[in-house]
Amino acid sequence: MSVDAVVFDLDGLLLDSEQLWDEAREELAHERGGKWTPSAQRDMMGMSSPEWSRYMHDRIGLREPPEEINRLVVERMLALYEQDLPLLPGAVGAVERLGARWPLGLASSSNRPLIDRVLELSGLAPRFKVTVSSEEVAHGKPAPDVYLEASRRLGVAPARAAAVEDSRNGIRSGRAAGMTVIAIPNPHFPPGEDALAEADVVLSSLDELTPDAIAGLSP
């Protein structure tokens, strides 16, 4: 079955931001008397904002309500992006190459204000036909909700769309949605061999993400 649309992840794939999320949350936890744990970053990777802010309240022990935790972290992330947008090498080229051939979607665990600002600052906003934040669906990754919603807004059946991902939860989200999954592992937070085994193809960099590479996945 041919691919009729491509849906990108954002954090860790186009944006070198996973460490920034980790730092922003950990700093807030220390400032507000929470107990940060070694597993916290991996636990929260892919969660929607309601999910990770609840995690920080319930598991890390911040006294602030989840809505306030979310607001404080997003404020920090916006300030960091305004100072220096951490686009990964090859991100703009990959989006432009694929956008010249297919309609593009974005399925991200980032909050809506962050998605919109990143695409504005990077100049990539016109390339994406639809963008979905996991805060706009019932469940974050690894649940399929955000990819299913992107597929619905694109008007393309999930089986005819490709998901481009970097993380364990992201790969599993795209797989659960029934999409063709292209993995480009994040070097800082590798997804693990078990998750990579669920991808249809694993590429080493965004430079390898070409129309031919995706077309070659069609039977």
Is 16 noted as a catalytic residue in this protein?
Answer: no
- 112-135, pLDDT tens digit by residue? 999 999 999 999 999 999 999 999
Does the N-terminal peptide bond of residue 66 adopt cis geometry, omega within 30 degrees of 0?
A: no
Res. 213: pLDDT tops 70: yes
Residue 127: closest CA among 155, 102, 160: 102
- 96-116, pLDDT tens digit by residue? 999 999 999 999 999 999 999
Measured between alpha carbons, how far is 30 from 42 in angstroms, rounded to an integer? 18
Residue 13: closest CA among 113, 115, 145, 161: 115
- 48-79, pLDDT tens digit by residue? 899 999 999 999 999 999 999 999 999 999 99
| Dihedral sign of CA atoms 214, 90, 118, 172 in order | positive
Is 212 noted as a catalytic residue in this protein?
Answer: no
- 28-40, pLDDT tens digit by residue? 999 999 999 989 9
The single-letter code of the amino acid at 187 is P
| Dihedral sign of CA atoms 100, 104, 110, 113 in order | positive
- 39-51, pLDDT tens digit by residue? 998 889 878 899 9
Measured between alpha carbons, how far is 188 from 59 in angstroms, rounded to an integer? 24
Mind giving me the DSSP string for 81-139? HHH---BPTTHHHHHHHHHTTS-EEEEESS-HHHHHHHHHHHT-GGGEEEEEEGGGSS-
* Domains of the chain by start residue, with CATH: 5-16+87-215 (3.40.50.1000), 18-83 (1.10.150)
- 184-198, pLDDT tens digit by residue? 998 888 888 999 999
Catalytic residue selected from 11, 16, 145, 166 = 11
For the chain, what is the mean pLDDT?
94
pLDDT for 149 equals 98
* Percent of the chain clearing pLDDT 90 (strictly above): 88
Catalytic residue selected from 4, 9, 84, 194 = 9
